[in-house]
Chains A and B, each alone.
Chain A
Amino acid sequence: MKRRPTAPRRKKAPQRGGLWGATEKLSRLRKTNGLLAYCLGLYGFLYLPLAVMVAFSFNGARRNVVWTGFTFKWYASLFHNAEMARAMATTLEIAVAASVMAAAMGMLAAYAMTRHAPFRGRGLYAALLNAPLMMPEIVMGVGLLSFFSRVGLPLNFWSLACAHALIALPYTTGSIRARLLSLKDSNLEDAAMDLGATEWQAFRQITLPLARPAIISGALLAFTVSFEDFVTTFFIAGIGIVTMPIKVYSMMKFGVTPEVNALASCLLVLTIIALTINRTLVKETKS
């Protein structure tokens, strides 16, 4: 009881700083302020252009300089533009076809990498599958173009979808492979076969349902990869196939119009939705 009076004084002590405390505080302040400024600068550089773009897609004026009032008219004209609608449809169709192909092939590749008995050159096999991730897309584009023209394959919807599936394959394989590895550790397929399931039944009833979140999240990544691909598409898209990124590029030739802003904003929203679904799926697999 007697000690009580000392307690408040002790609490106060560190606040009285004197000269030493002041300089320390200042340097700490400088440190945090410096860090804050750096972060603000970086994030500003990252996201301010996007914010400006989204904002100006609602701007009444035709030029991107002054703000004259809020409007939806660019979105309206975008959605009434038949060419634009066709480009959007083409892009979506190609992205769906490419992501389905990439997911299916990714599943097979991941299964081989994790379930097949060790074979010679398995490391090389896995590395070669991941190579498109590192390869400059120009190389892919040129290579595919000369391949298609040499072999005599027509440059059409399907050749483009296949090319996109190829670029997206490392993403689906990686996502599914991680999941299959963790499933392998838990002996679930062994347990199913132990109870009488054939390898195929174990795959259908245990592996596939449990790998589904990883397959979907891989496919979503593949979808965004295909959706936004410009370089490869630019090289090998045949005549008459115009995807969204190509369309935006051609529109840009006439300057950054509010329609381009509106279009880019739509793509941004789509990407955010896809990434959010992907995140939640990844979280689900981990739990």
Chain B
Amino acid sequence: MADASSSTQELASKEPKPPSAGPLLEVSGIVKSFGRTKVIAGVSFHVAAGEFLTLLGPSGCGKTTTLRIIAGFEQADKGRVFLKGEDVTTRPPYLRDVHTVFQHYALFPHYNVFDNVAFGLRIQKLPKRQIKTRVTEVLDLVKLSGYEKRRTTEMSGGQMQRIALARALAGRPSLLLLDEPLGALDLKLRREMQLELKAIQRRLGIAFIYVTHDQDEAMAMSDRIVVFHHGRIEQIGTPSEVYRKPKTSFVADFMGSANILSGRLIGFKDGCVRIRLEDEVEVEFPYADPLPVAQGQALCVAIRPERISVRYEGDLPLRGSCVSLPAILADTVSLGDETQMFLAFFKNSTKTVLSATMEARHQNERRDGTPVWADIRWRDILLLEPEGE
């Protein structure tokens, strides 16, 4: 903060935050239906001051509606929203200290860049001079100084996104909502903007709630991720928690990819679990974490493709702390640097397991049907609750 420019320091030193113990925003038990479709079925989470929280999920999972309820554009059927400890559930959007960056920018086409950014400040009736300095500051922050007089309709997508961001930041909200703000940009620009957004968020210390369906984006930017699925929260955690310790098979598969196998917990003794995979193959390995189900019950087993290492007859096995399973090589696909191998473990099922590797030696293709060994470290076998419905 010491070397930050004066303008950002000014922006960051918003009104002194009251030393409230509670979270900045709390959403509790939100339910929302449109007609007969239930879009959100009981969602609760909180956001701390200065936190970057991502709502992640496939399209139609309720994340955007949740955002619109926080902003005040929609009213929840059930549940409450607290902002700085105050109940704002029924408050209209203009009485909430929250600003939104919309997916399609929603810039006012009849205003130029300056007037767009100044809109909220003029509504607040700030003195003219103050409006001018604030607009200059935020335009500087998003690297668009000198564009004040331009019409927004003649700017590129990336520039419009920056103006939308500047407009939302100009009012110095304590919480910024971003609804897939980079969705309309091409990949390269998106990566650039991700870094920039994250940097701006850190510098200003404003809490962000960021909605996206792109798990890479979520991993790259967030302090914590809320994974949505069918209007419910599947898991809340830091990016590495969500990636390494997914709670459900949906999370395991959505965050990166995973082989999801059905299994049954048939034994647990001395910290060692015994699992029957796909009703056929039995494996036994030590497992330290709490078990998701009781003995004898069905569960899901998730293994990430990049965590399965394949060796051929005669190769040295992976040293210790892993299970080794015999398999048949079903297919090999080369994706440039990465090689994907499909392994058949089971006789009764046609289900194959994917292994992905960057190792060059797998690139000289073996014939399909070659017997191989698959080595999987104990800690890479994730035991999850069985899939609902």
Chain A residues at the B interface, C-beta cutoff of 8 Å: 186-188, 190-199, 201, 205-206, 209-210
Q: List, in ascending order, chain B residues with CB within 8 A of A210's CB.
A: 109-110
Q: How far is the CB of B138 from chain A (nearest CB, A)?
A: 13
A201 and B123 contact, CB distance less than 8 A: yes
B102 and A191 contact, CB distance less than 8 A: yes
A192 and B119 contact, CB distance less than 8 A: yes
Q: Is B312 positioned at the interface, with any CB of A under 8 Å from its CB? A: no
Q: Which of B92-100, B188-196, B327-335 contacts A (4 or more CB under 8 A)?
A: B92-100
B119 and A195 contact, CB distance less than 8 A: yes
Task: Please give me the 9 A-B residue pairs with the lowest Cβ-Cβ distance, nearest first.
Answer: A195-B120, A191-B106, A187-B106, A196-B123, A193-B93, A194-B100, A196-B94, A193-B94, A197-B123
In the bound complex, CA of A232 to CA of B303 (Å): 79
Residue of B nearest to A195 (CB): B120
Q: CB within 8 Å of A: which of B286-324?
A: none
Q: How far is the CB of A56 from chain B (nearest CB, A)?
A: 48
A194 and B99 contact, CB distance less than 8 A: yes
Q: List, in ascending order, chain B residues with CB within 8 A of A209's CB.
A: 110
Q: List, in ascending order, chain B residues with CB within 8 A of A205's CB.
A: 119
In the bound complex, CA of A205 to CA of B111 (Å): 10
Number of interface residues of B (CB under 8 A): 23
Give 1 or 0 for each of B244-278: 1 = CB within 8 Å of chain A CB.
00000000000000000000000000000000000
In the bound complex, CA of A197 to CA of B106 (Å): 15
Residue of B nearest to A192 (CB): B119
Residue from B71, B73, B119 with most neighbouring chain A CB atoms (10 Å): B119
Q: List, in ascending order, chain B residues with CB within 8 A of A190's CB.
A: 71, 73, 93, 100, 102, 106
Q: List, in ascending order, chain A residues with CB within 8 A of B20's CB.
A: none
Given contacts A186-B104, A190-B102, contact A195 B110 (CB under 8 A): no
Q: How far is the CB of A211 from chain B (nearest CB, A)?
A: 11
Residue of B nearest to A197 (CB): B123
Residue of B nearest to A186 (CB): B106
Given contacts A195-B119, A195-B120, contact A188 B106 (CB under 8 A): yes
Total CB contacts across the A-B interface at under 8 A: 61
Residue from B93, B110, B119 with most neighbouring chain A CB atoms (10 Å): B93
Residue of B nearest to A118 (CB): B35
Q: List, in ascending order, chain B residues with CB within 8 A of A192's CB.
A: 108, 119
Choose among A188, A191, A194, A196 the residue that contacts B124 (Cβ–Cβ < 8 A): A196
Given contacts A210-B109, A210-B110, contact A195 B123 (CB under 8 A): yes
Q: List, in ascending order, chain B residues with CB within 8 A of A191's CB.
A: 100, 102, 106-108, 167
Q: How far is the CB of B106 from chain A (nearest CB, A)?
A: 4
Given contacts A187-B102, A201-B123, contact A194 B108 (CB under 8 A): no
Q: A190-B93, A191-B106, A195-B119 are in contact. List 11 more A-B contacts (CB 8 A).
A: A187-B106, A188-B106, A190-B71, A190-B73, A190-B102, A192-B119, A194-B72, A194-B73, A194-B100, A209-B110, A210-B109
Q: How far is the CB of B97 from chain A (nearest CB, A)?
A: 10
Give 1 or 0 for each of B103-146: 1 = CB within 8 Å of chain A CB.
01011111000000001100110000000000000000000000
In the bound complex, CA of A209 to CA of B119 (Å): 15
Given contacts A190-B93, A201-B123, contact A195 B106 (CB under 8 A): no
In the bound complex, CA of A71 to CA of B315 (Å): 109
In the bound complex, CA of A50 to CA of B46 (Å): 73
Q: Is B171 positioned at the interface, with any CB of A under 8 Å from its CB? A: yes
Residue from B104, B120, B167 with most neighbouring chain A CB atoms (10 Å): B120
Q: List, in ascending order, chain B residues with CB within 8 A of A197's CB.
A: 94, 119-120, 123
In the bound complex, CA of A197 to CA of B119 (Å): 9
Residue from B73, B106, B107 with most neighbouring chain A CB atoms (10 Å): B106
Given contacts A190-B73, A190-B93, A191-B100, contact A196 B108 (CB under 8 A): no
Q: List, in ascending order, chain A residues with CB within 8 A of B102's CB.
A: 187, 190-191
Q: List, in ascending order, chain A residues with CB within 8 A of B71's CB.
A: 190, 194
Q: List, in ascending order, chain A residues with CB within 8 A of B110's CB.
A: 209-210
Q: List, in ascending order, chain B residues with CB within 8 A of A201's CB.
A: 123
Residue of A nearest to B153 (CB): A287
Q: List, in ascending order, chain B residues with CB within 8 A of A193's CB.
A: 72-73, 92-94
In the bound complex, CA of A201 to CA of B94 (Å): 11
Q: List, in ascending order, chain A residues with CB within 8 A of B92's CB.
A: 193, 198-199
Q: List, in ascending order, chain A residues with CB within 8 A of B72's CB.
A: 193-194
In the bound complex, CA of A212 to CA of B108 (Å): 14
A196 and B104 contact, CB distance less than 8 A: no
Q: List, in ascending order, chain A residues with CB within 8 A of B98's CB.
A: 194
In the bound complex, CA of A201 to CA of B108 (Å): 14
